[in-house]
Amino acid sequence: MTVMTRRRRPVRVTLAHECELVTVGFAGLLAPYAHRVQVLPSPGGVPARDVDLTLHDTLAGVRDLPLAAVQSVAHDGRLVTWTWNARPELVELALGNGVSGVLSKALPAARLVAALESIHHGRPVVDLGADQPPVTSPHSTPTSPLETLTPREAQVIAMITAGFDNQTIADRASISINSLKSYIRSAYRKMGVASRSQAVLWGVRHGYLGSITRDEDPGMTA
């Protein structure tokens, strides 16, 4: 008897309020990854329905804090900020308004696809592209990681903030999944958070974004 494997369907995504040039270009960019991401058309800028992710430039036109306000859009599934205005100081603003990720429009296709898959599976991702400095929030008091977290916990939270999944973090840290979960629980308790999205927001507020790159070996020590 032949054992049939069930193929995972592609993540369904659509764009909101983008012009035809952008929507056609976006579909073309992701066409080689059609087995992983399916782009549904959005004629006239109206996002498709029955999708997993809706990408919208919620930060378009946002200039100054704290008076800034993000744009709202009717959508299905999770809402993802996809923007040229990927300024680190605006990440907290977007995350605080309920988006599931903040992605730069400058991301190459492979990195964008990986981020979309992670967001679809419930992992908040903030990827502002290359050469972005760590985030410091104008609304929070700067706190040294060493004041609250051990070096191991700080590195784990840095990678969570960067959007890595647990298996990748465990592999890079050369620890078991169970050990990783123990570090995460301990860190969450110290941080006063209860979910991964809250941990990402905490990491953004405390300057962890950008402290670990996606190609870097963090070299974690206990």
Q: With contact defined as beta carbons under 8 Å apart, do 131 and 182 qualify?
A: no
CATH entry, 11-127, from 3.90.79.10, 3.30.70.1350, 3.40.50.10680, 3.40.50.2300: 3.40.50.2300
* CB atoms closer than 10 angstroms to residue 139: 11
The region of weakest confidence among 8-12, 24-28, 122-126, 131-135 is 131-135
Model confidence, pTM? 0.67
Name the pLDDT band for 217 (thresholds 50, 70, 90): very low
More confident residue, 72 or 31: 31
Residue 14's Cβ-count burial label (10 Å; 0-12, 13-18, 19+) is buried
We find that the CATH architecture of domain 145-205 is Orthogonal Bundle (1.10)
Render pLDDT for 11-58 as a digit per residue (tens, 0 to 9): 999 999 999 999 999 999 999 999 999 999 998 889 999 999 999 998
For the chain, what are the domain ranges? 11-127, 145-205
CA 62 – CA 81 distance, rounded (Å): 13
Report the share of the chain in percent with pLDDT over 90.
Answer: 41
Render pLDDT for 94-109 as a digit per residue (tens, 0 to 9): 887 788 888 999 999 9
CA 81 – CA 179 distance, rounded (Å): 33
